[in-house]
Amino acid sequence: IAGITQAPTSQILAAGRRMTLRCTQDMRHNAMYWYRQDLGLGLRLIHYSNTAGTTGKGEVPDGYSVSRANTDDFPLTLASAVPSQTSVYFCASRQGANYGYTFGSGTRLTVV
């Protein structure tokens, strides 16, 4: 089934540890996005990539980095996790301007 696969589905992480959230799509979409979702704050954009080889900062990029080596993969890295990064993280992609976003099922991350 075409879509976005995120891994892991959930993780408990010690503060200060490094973590990479994985995101893979099989739809050949050029644009990909990372959002975090927190209660009362909704979905906020962390980083985006309009095409392979390019990335950009979203609304809340501090403490996160991304790479886009190819069309299919868009990993999100937390260099040194802090408790405020406890959230649900969603990866998304888009086919083009006339289309909605396709979201993954999310990664629930708890930093303790």
Using CB under 8 A as the binding rule, whether residue 83 contacts another protein is answered as no
Span interacting with another protein, options 15-23, 63-71, 77-85, 90-98, rule CB under 8 A:
90-98
Strands (E) located in 67-112 = 76-78, 87-94, 101-103, 107-111
> Which residues are within 8 A (CB) of 14 and not within 5 positions of it... i.e. 6 or more apart?
81, 111, 112
To another protein, the closest distance from the beta carbon of 71 in angstroms equals 16
Binders of another protein in range 18-57 (CB under 8 A): 31, 33, 35, 40-45, 48, 50, 56
Cα separation of 34 and 28, whole Å? 17
| Min dist. Cβ of residue 16 to another protein (A) | 28
Phi and psi at residue 48, to the nearest 5°: -140, 165
Q: Which residues bind another protein (CB under 8 A)?
A: 4, 31, 33, 35, 40-45, 48, 50, 56, 58, 90, 92, 94, 97-106
